[in-house]
Each structure stands twice: as C-alpha cells, then as structure tokens.
A and B are shown apart, each in its own frame.
Chain A
C-alpha cells in the first residue's frame, strides 16, 4: 500500500528499529528466568549469558516473521485468494477419484505391511499415534463439530481404561467384551456430565469440564479401595485371539491391526456423521446457538449427543490403552493429556478428519523420532496452539464442506446431490 510510495531505505531502517526494540524487550523479559539459575543445593548462582544472546537474536528475526505474517493475514482477509486456491485443491483431491485412488492404494499397502517392515518398537509407537488419532477424532466431534470446548476429555479416556482394568482384575473380563462396554460406560459419563452443563456458555463449559476431569483423576488417586490409588492396576490382559498364546511381538502386531481397523472405522463414522442431519445440527450449534435453536434444533439433545459420542471414543481408546500397556495409574490421565489431544485437533484443523490424522502424527511421532526435540515437546505444543489460533485458525487442513451438484431446472428431482450425499 503506502509502502510503495515511501522510499525503501528508511522503511528497512524502521523495520530494523522495530525488531531491535522487540529483541531488547524480550531480552529484558526473559533475563531472570533464562539467564540466572540458582542451584538449590549449594546456593550458588549460575549465569548463562549466552541465553541472552540467543533470545535477542531469536526475537530479532522472529519479529520480522511475525510482522510479515501479520501483514499477510490482514491482506489475506481482504483478498482471500490463496485460501480459495487451497480449498479448491483440497476439494479436487478429495473428490477426484483418479487423484486419490492410487494414493489411497499405496497408503493402504504401506499400512498393511508396516509391522513387517519395522521393529516391534516402531510398531508400538505407531499404535500410540493411532490411539491419538482416534482420541483426536473423538474430541473433534465435540470441539470441532459441535464447538463445545471440552477440557476434561481425558476423564472419559480414564473411565474406559479403568473400566477395563477393574473388570479384568476382578472378573477376568476379556478385551473384546470390555471394548464396547467401555465405550458405553464412557458415553453414560458423557451424558451425566453433559446434563448439568448444558446451559453454560462456551468458556464456562471449558472450565467445568476441566474441573470434572481433575475430579475424576483425584478420585482415582485417592480412593484406594476402588482404584488402587497412585500405584495403579497391573497385569491387565492383552487382547487375545480365541485363546491362542501370542508372544509380545505378535501381540504388538495384533494390536496394530486392531488399531488400524478402529481408526478406519472411526474415520468413516466421523466422516458420515459430519455430513448427516446430526452433523449439520452440531455445526449449526457451533456457528450460532440462537439461530440453531430458532431453526428447530433441540439444543440440549444435540449437545448431549455430541458429548456422548465423543466420550464413547475416548472410552474405546481408554480400553485399548489399558490392554496395550497392561498397567494403568492416574498419572496417565492428567490435564496435560487433554491439552495434547486438544492441540491435535486445533493444529490439524477443527472439524477436519484428515487434519486430525495429520495433526496426531505430527504431534506424537515428531517428538518420538526427534529425540532432541522431545524435551521441547510441550513447549512447542503450547506455542503452536497460540500461533495456529493467531495465523491459521482453520488448522493445517481446514474442514471441507460437501459439495452438491444439481442439473439445471427439473424441480421434481432436483439433481444428483443425493447420490453424492449417500454414496
């Protein structure tokens, strides 16, 4: 805009001044915490002056990036060009069979032989990633589609895990019986929590669910007679195939395939829900609660359904988690776990299935493989949640709405949209 009129040099100069000031500010800001370190034992102070240099240099360059992206965001809001381009490309890839079919087949083949290509350890990591895909997709129903910020999602995960663990411990209940029941119990908990919080505004809901999640964890920690307290429950049985005895390696492979089936099942279910009568009601509720009710949608029922369904998936994964690790205790179900699942959904793209899959793989696999990075994992989670909200609220892959095609005119059978809807 007016940058073209102004001479170039002073402009660069003023940008450098801005960045220098930012750098100085952040050097000041981080000085006590980054530079000074107290050893608690010998009461000496350790000065880390290099950190000051890093912060200064980092802030200097990042502030350029920040302003650049901010500028682009403002212009993007005006022109919205590249969003349109990306959307069209996404639409194309997801609808044109010639593009996605070969890719899908290659991916399917890779997924099918994965455990034979990689070690047991790698397979186990992949199982964890797939569990988070499922958790992300489940939470995506609640947060992404229905717009209900649930910060206590981990509670339902815990319910599923403890249900299986306790049933297995006391009654020897097997995995395959427990799995659907864990989902159902979690759904009941979802409804129990859902009922009282129906009337709450979005941000209050977030806090109540957070409180609920913490209450469940604290109860599990303190109610020793019921949950065995912090020491947890060990010796939970792994899933079996008709009584055959498997080695640990075989167990891992078996669980891997179970997870693949479960993830595919989840993706299909969420995908179908999203473009269904219920799914549209959820999205409408997210977009505008008042208008949604005024269009004849029962807010309470719709919210409860989202809660229950989201919880069901957490219950499933909880059951699988207990079977995978054969040991659970309350420390697996902290608020941080909820936060990780939420950041998967946010990073991937709220309401988007592929987005959640990609988000889960990035957030779970990256720290796993970049060991040096894993220490910074939560730091990066937090920062990326902020940056995503600021610069790309739709996430890596924004949700794509279904397109319908209509032939011109014949009003009686208005076209082939229905075919697309129910293919």
Chain B
C-alpha cells in the first residue's frame, strides 16, 4: 500500500540558512509517526512546508488520500492543502482568541460546507440545515477532546492544556486523513500528558486517520509512535522503530549536545 504522505528530498532555504536538507519521510495508513530533534532542527519548518505555509526550495510532497487519487501538494495554498485532507496544530498556540470554543471548531468546518453570503442573509432551509450540521459536528469534536463543558467560553479564557486540546479538535473538524501535531504536550503537566497519550491513540482509532507528531516528551513519543524520524540541523540523522532510534549513536550525540532541551 502507498504511504498517505510521501515526502522526497525536501529542502528549505531561508536566505543563506538551509533549514531542511533533502528530507525523506513517509507516513503509512493508520500509523502514528513521530518527528523529533533538538530545538531549531527544522521540525516546525517541515510542517510549514507540507501545509503550504512556506514554499519549499526543492523536493516533492505527495499525498494519497484514502478515497481520492494521489496528488502532489508542492505549490498548493495552505487552505487547499487542508481541503485535501491534511490538518495541523501549532506549536505556539494559534487559536482564534476572541471567538468561542465552539466557533473555533466551526471555523474549521468552513472547507467542508458551502453556504455563501446570500444564504447567510436569507437563511434558507439549506443554510440552516448546514449550520445545524456544523454545530453538531463541532460539538462532537469537542466531546472527543473533552471540552464539551466549555463551548461558549472564549478561547482565550481556556486553561493552557485545554487550549492545546482545542487546537486538536479544531484540526480534526476539517476531517483530515493525516493529522499533524506540533508539540501537543508542550507546557502540559504529567497528568495532562498521560491523558493526551490516550487521546491521540483514541483519535487515530476512532477517526481512522494517520498522525505525524512533533514532540519533545520522550516518554510520550516512545509509547505511542510506531516509527520515529530524528532531525538535527535540518538533516535526517536517524529513522526507525522507537527501540532502534533509542539505540542509535547519532541520536544520542545530537541530544547530548542539547542538554537544555526538554
């Protein structure tokens, strides 16, 4: 079977700085894959490239949605990438702070719904039905991440851990086949991290999707991911199962050089 995400020789330059160099990475159907590496290794940049936020300087990115033909996503705009089934969260939380929790998720239904300005003004039955569908769907997503008690609160009023989970719910509302999580456990306490561990696995099973995850918390990474890629200074220095990666001398060296890293 083809991988759902197939990245080949991805390179990204910022002026003189080469943030990514010839990165190859695959995610297979139903897998949880982790991307790790010291701070500044280029992990977030990798996400930004595949989600169309940055335009990579070279390489190929191909997706294989389960029910649609394969597609190159090289020069697509971020919204088109999301529409084709990739959704992400952000390392430095980027919620719509002045909107309610439910609305944050409803915004993500935008690309799966159609009603326009006239529909909004005249509120025909079709628009109303769609609006109802949006509310219901979003509510279900919030239930999944355990935020159904906060629907009407503003996103900025949520505690930190809840904001991270809201990011996940929002990404899921776009109905992705591949979910990209950028340091979902950052800033969480150990108990929240354990719950997150269960949540990620449950989402993968219930929603039938694949997950690519950037994370610093090694316990979390080791326990949930099937495969791990290790990035250092923009280069892929190791790949394999958790056990293989943990034993790789390159990885140990990269991490020892970065003792301040969490």
A/B contact in complex, CB under 8 angstroms: yes
Docked complex Cα distance between A295 and B83 (Å): 8
The answer to whether A422 has its CB under 8 Å from any CB of chain B is: yes
> Is B117 within 8 A of A305, CB to CB?
yes
The answer to whether A166 has its CB under 8 Å from any CB of chain B is: no
Docked complex Cα distance between A287 and B174 (Å): 19
The answer to whether B53 has its CB under 8 Å from any CB of chain A is: yes
Docked complex Cα distance between A403 and B151 (Å): 8
Docked complex Cα distance between A420 and B210 (Å): 36
Q: Which residues of A contact B51 (CB under 8 A)?
A: 294
Q: Which residues of A contact B115 (CB under 8 A)?
A: 276-277
Scan residues 280-329 of chain A and give those whose CB is less than 8 A from a CB of chain B.
280-281, 283-284, 287-288, 290-299, 305, 309
The answer to whether B97 has its CB under 8 Å from any CB of chain A is: yes
CB nearest neighbor in B for A413: B136
> Is B102 within 8 A of A273, CB to CB?
no
In the complex, what's the smallest C-beta–C-beta distance from A355 to chain B, in angstroms? 14
Give the residue of B110, B121, B139, B171 whose beta carbon is less than 8 angstroms from that of A281: B110
Q: Which residues of A contact B98 (CB under 8 A)?
A: 283, 287, 399, 401
CB nearest neighbor in B for A288: B94
Instruction: Indicate whether A401 sits within 8 Å of B140 (C-beta atoms), given known contacts A279-B120, A280-B107, A421-B128.
Output: no
> Is A297 within 8 A of B121, CB to CB?
no
The answer to whether B197 has its CB under 8 Å from any CB of chain A is: no
> Is B123 within 8 A of A272, CB to CB?
yes
CB nearest neighbor in B for A273: B120
Q: Which residues of B contact A264 (CB under 8 A)?
A: none
The answer to whether A229 has its CB under 8 Å from any CB of chain B is: no
Q: Which residues of B contact A404 (CB under 8 A)?
A: 102, 135, 151-152
> Is B96 within 8 A of A291, CB to CB?
yes
The answer to whether B233 has its CB under 8 Å from any CB of chain A is: no
Among A277, A296, A399, the most chain B Cβ lie within 10 Å of the Cβ of A296
In the complex, what's the smallest C-beta–C-beta distance from A188 to chain B, in angstroms? 15
> Is A277 within 8 A of B111, CB to CB?
no
Scan residues 179-231 of chain A and give those whose CB is less than 8 A from a CB of chain B.
none
Instruction: Indicate whether A280 sits within 8 Å of B121 (C-beta atoms), given known contacts A287-B97, A417-B135.
Output: no
Q: Which residues of A contact B148 (CB under 8 A)?
A: 406
In the complex, what's the smallest C-beta–C-beta distance from B87 to chain A, in angstroms? 8
The answer to whether B77 has its CB under 8 Å from any CB of chain A is: yes
Q: Which label, helix, strand, loop or mixed, suits the secondary structure of the B interface? A: helix
Give the residue of B108, B143, B152 whose beta carbon is less than 8 angstroms from that of A295: B108
> Is B136 within 8 A of A418, CB to CB?
yes
Instruction: Indicate whether A401 sits within 8 Å of B100 (C-beta atoms), given known contacts A280-B106, A291-B95.
Output: yes
> Is A273 within 8 A of B111, CB to CB?
no
CB nearest neighbor in B for A295: B108
CB nearest neighbor in A for B175: A296
Give the residue of B88, B96, B112, B135 whose beta carbon is less than 8 angstroms from that of A283: B96
Among B79, B90, B136, B152, the most chain A Cβ lie within 10 Å of the Cβ of B79
> Is B123 within 8 A of A422, CB to CB?
yes
CB nearest neighbor in A for B173: A295
Q: Which label, helix, strand, loop or mixed, suits the secondary structure of the A interface? A: helix
Q: Which residues of B contact A276 (CB under 8 A)?
A: 115, 119-120, 127, 131
The answer to whether B209 has its CB under 8 Å from any CB of chain A is: no
Q: Which residues of B contact A280 (CB under 8 A)?
A: 99, 103, 106-107, 110
The answer to whether A415 has its CB under 8 Å from any CB of chain B is: yes
Q: Which residues of B contact A418 (CB under 8 A)?
A: 128, 131-132, 135-136
Interface string of B132-163 (1 = CB under 8 A from A): 10111001100100001001101000000000
Q: Which residues of A contact B97 (CB under 8 A)?
A: 287-288
> Is B121 within 8 A of A403, CB to CB?
no
> Is A277 within 8 A of B100, CB to CB?
no
Instruction: Indicate whether A287 sits within 8 Å of B103 (C-beta atoms), given known contacts A273-B117, A277-B134, A295-B108.
Output: no
Docked complex Cα distance between A281 and B103 (Å): 10
In the complex, what's the smallest C-beta–C-beta distance from B153 to chain A, in angstroms? 10
Docked complex Cα distance between A276 and B130 (Å): 10
CB nearest neighbor in A for B47: A294
Docked complex Cα distance between A269 and B132 (Å): 19
The answer to whether B165 has its CB under 8 Å from any CB of chain A is: no
Q: Which residues of A contact B64 (CB under 8 A)?
A: none
CB nearest neighbor in B for A80: B157
18 A-B pairs within 8 Å (CB atoms) are namely: A276-B115, A276-B127, A278-B117, A283-B98, A284-B99, A288-B97, A293-B82, A294-B94, A295-B79, A295-B111, A296-B110, A401-B100, A404-B102, A404-B151, A414-B135, A417-B135, A418-B135, A422-B123
User: Closest 10 CB pairs between A and B?
Assistant: A296-B111, A418-B132, A276-B120, A296-B82, A422-B128, A291-B94, A287-B96, A293-B78, A414-B136, A417-B135
